[in-house]
Structure 1
Amino acid sequence: MPHRPDVPCARCGTLLWRGRGTLPQGQAVCHPCRRKESQPYGRRVAYETRSCAVCEATFEVRASSEQRACSVSCARRLRMSPGACDDCGKSTTRRRTSVGRLCESCATARARARWIAKNHRRRTVGRLSDVTPAYERGLRARARKCPLCSVRLTSKADRPNSKHLDHILPIAAGGTHSIGNVRIICRTCNLSRPYDGSDLDGYQLTLWAQDSAFIPMPVRPVVPRCACGTELRKGRCWTCEPSRHHIRLEAGRRAAELRAARMKWQDIADELGLGNPGAAYAAARMYGDPDVMARWPQRYEHGAVEQAVHYGGGHGKQASDRSGRPARGRGHHPAPA
């Protein structure tokens, strides 16, 4: 189809660019005339003519716009022009267009304040932290499934199910980098969690400074012995062998305070203690819940809170408590009744 010749506007007579339009020649209207016709009907906002603040050229812009320059180059020159400082009001010139208009002293003061606040947050998190590298390695070695989506975790990096260290109550929401506030979840759940902890609507977790939660802690190795005093095997910490655990639970305010409105003790144990029966029993004993205490064997009754508790045994062997009697439960991993 051949190109049409230039046609005049039906309102002002301006020659329009020749193209492949389908309107008849008498109905061709330029864009300025079309805007002027649509303004009385409210279909377009009003336009006005302004003068550029840099080159003093005239340009048409919407009346509600704050544009002061006619082009991008003029707008950049306008932003770099001298003006008043945003903080002290002193006349200054911008060095970069991506930041506010600040004089040298005010810019230095703002940068110093940002670094002071950042260093304070970093020192505070480090001072309240009791998560050692050995504990983190043991936590990663024990993690098998994500507690949020139940997907099987892997130690390989950059995978959707990779192991990520997550803070139950995020640092930005007031949480601490402590044992009672860390867990291992998958990479997908960790990246999808909100940074303010707004997804924790089912329970409220209050952490005391430098306090320990009801989950295993790496302590010095304890050699398991039989009721007759015979040494069973070489002592190991649970960080080396997930099948044997040596836990240390502390009483009083040294333990974390957990209030769960719509959660059962089993859910709490799965959330913080990773299914540790000794931790659940100690928590129930501390808060006086007889129903939960009755669900676990009595082998945790002697010194479960005051000192280390060892549970688990060799393959096919029957575990026993301090008195030498066989522990209740099935096998060497006792289960709830």
Structure 2
Amino acid sequence: MARRPDLPCSRCGMLMWRSGTSLSEGKAVCRPCRRERPEPYSRPELYGPRPCAHCGQEFTDPHRRVCSRECGRARKAFNVRRLNDAPTQPVPCDDCGTLTMRGRNQEGRFCDGCARARRRAKDRRAAAVRRGAVVVGPRPKLDDIARRDGWRCHLCLRSVDPGLHFQHRDAATLDHLVPVSVGGTDEPSNLALAHRGCNSSRGVGGHVQLALIG
């Protein structure tokens, strides 16, 4: 290394300390100039003006795909709508029927109130498990419980169609007779078949008395 700065900046002319990895004279750039305009120096032709990924306006920042924060937010919102395949018209909430915007994610199928209620129920379940409501053995399969209950909802006593899509309001679900949030387990004796809509409407509202068959 030189004993004194002797390498001029190719932009401002300020002398810099030379090292074994320094660029040659005429290419080296000081740190203040790099901070002011942080562009590559070896192949600048690859980082010239290019179109914004959202609006198409040309810009020169080599580290961004969009020209501004506004375009960045707009592009993010567009990608979210595209990935979720969200409709332009509101549709009924799966739980209460209130019109809401719907996406592919689970909470997108519910209105704000029902989504909050489901999150709270999920948090209560997780907290109960942390307090010691441990699952005893593997959770029984839905088909096993459904055959035991004769493919009949224990809440409305109507039959359950096994061919429905799992997101349908009348699709088959497993309902905890004693909610996990108050100490219930995943044992077969604490599980019963229920329509998804019936199960959602009951939520964690108390224990259920049921005479199981078999």
**TM-score band, normalised by the shorter chain?**
0.3 to 0.5
Larger Rg: 1
Q: TM-score, normalised by structure 1?
A: 0.27
Q: TM-score, normalised by structure 2?
A: 0.38
